[in-house]
Amino acid sequence: MDLHLKNKVVIVTGGARGIGKAIVELLNEEGAKVAIVDKITQTISTLPDRSLKGSYFTADLTSAEACKQVVEEVVAELGSIDALVNNAGFNDNIGLQGGTPEKFIQSLNNNVGHYYFMAHYCLPYLKERRGAIVNLGSKTSITGQGNTSGYVAAKGAILSLTREWAVELLPYSIRVNAVIPAEVSTPLYESWLKGFADPQEKLRQISRKIPLEHRLTKPDEIAHAVVFLLSDRSSHTTGQWFFVDGGYTHLDRAIS
């Protein structure tokens, strides 16, 4: 299906790895002009996956000023912005018991601050293009996880902001939606598994709890949902939370 994204300029934060990388690859297939924004200090030619195509911009998105600067750099190089994918972030395990108030605030900034910063600075260009925003959430904001208050609070805020921005941006026909993964097979997830005494047994335990096919979600399955929501094939869809998780969040895991 042609998603009508050819030559559209799309910013993908955290686009060099994992889910972000899968989104970039699919946008490439659709002919979009992708601005890959990541904190890895490299060029597009020296990324771990050299087949990744797009324009690469290095930025530490925890700073509002850095977000402003990278948006200006994208526009200077690519001329416009048609869509924004807010994807960067990480589960930093700042819990109620093991964390501190200072670390909690820092976690909020690391995981939701740049969603606002990037949307704020992209907004003038998105208005011109009647663009779209897709925010990446997490099932932890719905289910809880334990010992990760900062990350979960940030991801909950992202879902609320998705609805809030969808309302605020109605006059400009800018659509805002969220995609919510659960257990996704990424290099970061694999690294987390290696912290267990028996990584394969831990993977089997998790997979058994995922109702559909008892397996982790693949990054490209997240990417397909994101890219569809960016496209005009979803032209009357806004303010929605899309769960791409094999039924993990809402189906009774006892049926597994």
pLDDT tens digits along 103-130: 999 999 999 999 999 999 999 999 999 9
The pLDDT score that the predictor gives to residue 256 is: 64
Has residue 58 been placed in a domain? yes
Burial group, residue 144, by CB count within 10 angstroms (0-12, 13-18, 19+): exposed
248 flagged as catalytic: no
74-92 pLDDT, tens per residue?
Answer: 999 999 999 999 999 999 9
Residue 197: count of CB within 10 angstroms of its CB? 6
Mean per-residue pLDDT for 185-204?
95
Q: Are residues 94 and 175 in the same domain?
A: yes
What pTM was estimated for this model as a whole? 0.95
Find out whether 221 and 215 touch, Cβ atoms under 8 Å: no
The pLDDT score that the predictor gives to residue 220 is: 98
Q: Are residues 104 and 124 in the same domain?
A: yes
Interacting residues of 212 by C-beta distance below 8 A, sequence separation 6+: 246, 247
Which listed residue (151, 172, 189, 248) is catalytic?
A: 151
How many folded domains does the chain comprise? 2
Q: Are residues 136 and 203 in the same domain?
A: no
For residue 212, the enclosing domain spans: 186-216
Which CATH number fits the domain that encloses residue 131? 3.40.50.720
pLDDT above 60 for 48: no
Has residue 199 been placed in a domain? yes
Residue with tokens 């904001």: 141
The pLDDT score that the predictor gives to residue 46 is: 45
pLDDT above 50 for 162: yes
Has residue 253 been placed in a domain? no
pLDDT above 60 for 153: yes
Q: Are residues 105 and 33 in the same domain?
A: yes
pLDDT above 90 for 53: no
| Cα 21 from Cα 14, distance rounded (Å) | 8
The pLDDT score that the predictor gives to residue 1 is: 79
